[in-house]
């Protein structure tokens, strides 16, 4: 009698609720966080469908570390979500393809995200969070999900920009980012030709992205392709 030396791998479970043609796109577009959170109930790796395309969601922390850190070289970065994020992040660390360019940019940015640097802004982040929590009126029910989004984004902005970001800009960041991420997910799950149509949702997403770019663009920097005519040419000529 032959006894197998290794147990056969179990098939990857598929998330329930898939619809013909669109798969799980309706869930990702309507309530992405509750849907992704619910996948933990089905396994460490769960298959979903984005339209006709299968995608695999890793829900186990240890396995996530393998994908992102230990065995990262075996998992290439790319796909529609990266293409959609590139619209407003540009060719940054989160969106540029793996390789020499990514490694070079990562080494340039790494000092900003080491423990020592973040620790210098820890007190400012704590003060900001305490101020936000102290402003909550007592005895009034709160939307914890929205509050945690606001607190996390506020701490992130201080870690990234320090305390020099004006309150007005911080408020705009806080209101823009959730809507931009929703629009990004929508463009990821919809066919590319739909994302290019002049639909109200597409126009609103484009306007939010442009506003975000304007917020992070230095006030003194002229738009690309245009020369600052307020400066005289060298040599005093016209």
223 — pLDDT class (breaks 50, 70, 90): very low
Rounded CA separation 181/88 (Å): 10
Chain center to CA of 96 = 14
Mean pLDDT along residues 56-85: 81
For every residue of 202-215, which 3-state class applies, written as one string?
HHHHHHHHHHHHHH
Q: What is the mean pLDDT of residues 96-116?
A: 68
pLDDT band of residue 186 (cuts 50, 70, 90) is confident
**H-assigned helices in 162-199:** 167-189, 192-195
* Count of beta carbons in the 10 Å neighbourhood of residue 220: 6
Residues with Cβ within 8 Å of residue 89, at least 6 apart in sequence: 95
Task: Judge whether 140 and 169 are in contact, CB under 8 Å.
Answer: no
Q: Is 90 exceeded by the pLDDT of residue 133?
A: yes
pLDDT exceeds cutoff 60 at 125 = yes
Q: Which of 24-28, 76-80, 127-131, 156-160 is the least confident region?
A: 76-80
**Which tokens in the block code for residue 9?**
């791998």
pLDDT at position 172, please?
82
Residue 47: DSSP 8-state: E
pLDDT tens per residue across span 71-80 = 877 877 666 6
92 band by pLDDT with thresholds 50, 70 and 90: low
Element (H, E) at 46: strand 45-50
Q: How far apart are CA 103 and CA 109, in angstroms?
A: 10
- Per-residue burial over 28-58, b = 16 or more CB atoms within 10 Å of its CB, e = otherwise: bbeebeebbebbeebbbebbbbbeeeebebb
Mean pLDDT (the chain) is: 76
What is the phi-psi region of residue 200: left when phi exceeds 0, alpha when psi lies from -120 to 50, beta otherwise? alpha
Cα–Cα distance measured from residue 133 to residue 151, given in angstroms and rounded to the nearest whole number = 9
Over the range 185-203, which residues count as b (16 or more CB within 10 Å of their CB) and which as e? bbbbbbeeeebeeeeebbe
Mean predicted confidence (pLDDT) in 143-159: 85
Condensed to tens digits (0 to 9), the pLDDT of residues 9-52 reads 678 999 999 988 888 888 887 787 789 889 999 999 999 988 77
- Which of the residue ranges 43-52, 62-71, 105-114, 128-137 would you say has the lowest mean pLDDT? 105-114
């Amino acid at each position: 009698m032959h006894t197998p030396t290794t147990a056969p791998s179990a098939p990857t479970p598929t998330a329930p609720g898939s619809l013909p043609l669109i798969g799980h796109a309706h869930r990702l577009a309507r309530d992405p966080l509750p849907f992704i959170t619910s996948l933990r109930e089905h396994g460490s790796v769960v298959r979903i469908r984005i339209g006709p395309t299968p995608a695999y969601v890793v829900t186990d922390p240890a396995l996530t570390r393998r994908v992102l850190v230990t065995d990262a070289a075996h998992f290439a970065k790319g796909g529609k979500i990266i293409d959609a994020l590139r619209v407003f992040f540009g060719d940054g660390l989160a969106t540029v393809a793996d390789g020499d360019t990514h490694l070079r940019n990562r080494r340039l940015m790494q000092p900003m995200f080491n423990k020592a640097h973040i620790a210098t802004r820890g007190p400012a982040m704590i003060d900001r969070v305490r101020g936000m929590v102290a402003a909550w009126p007592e005895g009034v029910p709160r939307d914890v999900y929205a509050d945690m989004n606001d607190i996390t984004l506020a701490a992130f902005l201080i870690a990234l920009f320090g305390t020099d970001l004006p309150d007005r800009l911080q408020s705009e960041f806080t209101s823009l980012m959730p809507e931009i991420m929703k629009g990004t997910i929508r463009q990821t799950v919809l066919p590319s030709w739909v994302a290019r149509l002049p639909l109200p949702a597409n126009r609103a997403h484009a306007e939010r992205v442009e506003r975000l770019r304007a917020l992070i663009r230095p006030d003194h920097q002229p738009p690309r392709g245009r020369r600052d005519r307020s400066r005289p040419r060298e040599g005093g000529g016209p």
